Chain A
């Protein structure tokens, strides 16, 4: 299922946050949105999962304007994994994953055996089947994010939105989480902070700066030293990772490089 954003304008309390942003993700692709803090990444994602309505432009998922769908219909297509949930409740892992079935259930409807099978399968797929009865809040950050990915899978959505899912995770958990998500093969749009993770896992990158899309393209088209200096204010050496053979960045503060050149 593909996602298309056309000329999206978004405001929060009458302040423009995103201006004329366009973006496209084909079925099965992973598109990364990168940009400094406050560049509008999260806000833009909200227009896709119906939390903040754009003041202009069009957002379609599977060809339909998401803002003309009902909340339930939209949730059947799009699932979200946001930053680590700081939750103070005692739902078990199974209960949290089962919540993923709610867009498919009526208010009075109970979960069927099929729903429970879907939940079990989702937990197995992300490798948390052994923690099914643990209390969600007692898990580590990486485990929590896996549970939320399982919830998204249980939702049987065809599009996955990730809003800086690797924040607060240690390096290994970051890699494992993105590895897992890429292997799912679902259309994914992810706001990511860590540029090397974005470079490694995404098929396409879109760069936001102060609410505007300043670049879109493949990883090596987008991550140029000029753009990184301009948008992120860092000096950058772009090379090839010695092990993975993929695009890799090494960055330093801008001033340091000037010192080095002298």
Chain B
């Protein structure tokens, strides 16, 4: 029994160490960059017509670098440059944005189950998009699906921030409660719209709600890409106060973090980022929940390493998910959440089982403490 307990404690101690040693982080990031480039290339090459990787390289270099002497532009040129490239890039941007905001919100509310949609952004976006998909863009002042989704996300956020405010401070717990409650209300309207929709529009609605990159072209890429790069940079610069926040409110305050202001800034930046990506991709579940956990196991909790690694890994991950979505049942494109949930659910069960021994030890200690106070 004793030896069993000792081994359990040993395991727990080992699990705390992340897999990539600190002095190898640079090399690991280089590896992630390579993986990202390869994933993007694969995302461009694989599809209903699979084009050779050589053509992908040819076309992309030809477009980016005027002096590049490509072989004559073939039929693949249009597929590669007009359709696949913006789609792969958008997938990467969305995956990166969801992973980064997931990591930040988990630190902010100190809850490992926090995800980017915790503030009701997705339900607002869904209502906006579904309104246009079902009733036509006439009711939404001529906005397209993405535009209406973005407007819905912003309105939902505004409502949550107003409801979750206390004086001039944004209180995380109140925000979450407001976000959850608002999500239910908005979802009920979204569901009502689905019920009254004409049957031929239902599938489009369903696909959007479960997340898709089908609609993407170069025009959809600009805003999300710019916002993702700027917000991630902004957050990265604040990695040190983010770390302090993990140590507790008192610790953060005593280390010179202006808690009220910093929390509000984090909430506004990360939820705007989510709003921008949800508008172009629908609500893709589990990415923002799963990737930060995997990356913490790899590089640890320090946000200076966590955030850039999460961006690259999350981006690559979603590119591969999109490849799967296009390949599983051609020519039908499977909505992304179907795949991310099918992978993410079992992952969380595995994570829970893996951590179970430690939780068990902790619970035993709590019980014995309780018994001690009772006797």
Contact = CB atoms under 8 A, between A and B. Distances in A.
A40 B250 CA distance: 16
Given A71-B253, A89-B301, A90-B301, A107 B18 contact: no
A51 interface: yes
A161 B92 CA distance: 47
A113 to B, nearest CB: 17
A80 B16 contact: no
A79 B247 CA distance: 14
Q: In which size bucket is the chain B interface? A: 20 to 34
B248 A85 contact: yes
Contacts of B302: 91, 95
B237 A100 contact: no
Given A82-B251, A102-B241, A90 B13 contact: no
Interface string A98-124: 011011010110000000000000000
Interface in B240-277: 240-241, 243-244, 246-251, 253-259
Contact of B259 (A51, A80, A82, A163): A51
B249 A51 contact: yes
B242 to A, nearest CB: 11
A182 B176 CA distance: 43
A39 interface: no
A90 B240 CA distance: 15
A166 interface: no
B73 interface: no
Interface in A55-103: 70-72, 74-76, 78-80, 82, 85, 87-91, 95-96, 99-100, 102-103
Contacts of B253: 49-51, 71, 75, 80
A137 B246 CA distance: 12
Contacts of A75: 253-256
A90 B300 contact: yes
B256 A103 contact: yes
A99 B18 contact: no
Contacts of B354: none
Contacts of B237: 107-108
B251 A80 contact: yes
A223 B347 CA distance: 58
B254 A49 contact: yes
B17 interface: yes
B238 interface: yes
Contacts of A1: none
Contacts of B18: 90
Contact of B250 (A49, A88, A90, A103): A49
Given A89-B301, A91-B301, A82 B248 contact: yes
Nearest to B112: A88
Nearest to A137: B16
A15 to B, nearest CB: 14
Given A90-B300, A95-B302, A51 B256 contact: no
Contacts of A50: 253
A228 interface: no
A82 B250 contact: yes
B256 A71 contact: yes
A96 B18 CA distance: 16
Nearest to A83: B250
Contacts of B254: 49, 51, 75, 78-80, 155, 161
30 contacts: A46-B250, A49-B250, A49-B253, A50-B253, A51-B249, A51-B250, A70-B258, A71-B253, A72-B256, A75-B254, A75-B255, A75-B256, A80-B251, A80-B253, A82-B248, A87-B246, A87-B248, A89-B301, A90-B17, A90-B18, A90-B301, A91-B246, A91-B302, A99-B243, A99-B251, A99-B255, A100-B255, A102-B255, A102-B256, A137-B16
Interface of B: 12-13, 16-18, 112, 237-238, 240-241, 243-244, 246-251, 253-259, 296, 300-302
Given A71-B256, A107-B238, 17 more contacts: A49-B253, A51-B254, A70-B258, A78-B254, A85-B247, A85-B248, A87-B246, A89-B247, A90-B17, A90-B301, A91-B300, A96-B247, A99-B255, A102-B241, A135-B17, A138-B13, A161-B254
